[in-house]
Amino acid sequence: MNSMDRQRNKTVLILDHSSFFARPSGVTFNVNIQNTDQHHEPNHDIQLGMKSLWTCVVECVLEYCRILFDIFEDDALVRLSID
């Protein structure tokens, strides 16, 4: 089978960054904060941060692309449009 006989499909992903995606998602992550105050011993605090819906959407799209490239390697065609 030559390269002209193979069917190639393209994945098109369109992300619209509206104000809705600025909302918190409920997904938390750890933030390590190092206190470097000269007058006290170094202190490491761990605080929780919260991802926005936009962050979760972008992470999902990147993971989708990673899987697509793992499966199809050089034959993966992806177009990503972010507004």
Judge whether 57 lies within some domain: yes
Judge whether 3 lies within some domain: no
For 20, the enclosing helix (H) or strand (E) is none
- Residue-wise pLDDT tens digits, 3-32: 545 667 888 999 988 999 999 999 999 988
Judge whether 25 lies within some domain: yes
Which residues pair with residue 34 across a beta bridge? 44
Judge whether 44 lies within some domain: yes
With bands split at pLDDT 50, 70 and 90, how would you rate the model's confidence at 82?
A: confident
| Helix-strand-coil split of the chain, %, nearest 5 | 35, 40, 25
- Residue-wise pLDDT tens digits, 41-53: 666 678 889 999 9
Judge whether 5 lies within some domain: no
Expressed as residue numbers, the domain containing 20 is 10-82
Judge whether 73 lies within some domain: yes
| Count: domains in the chain | 1
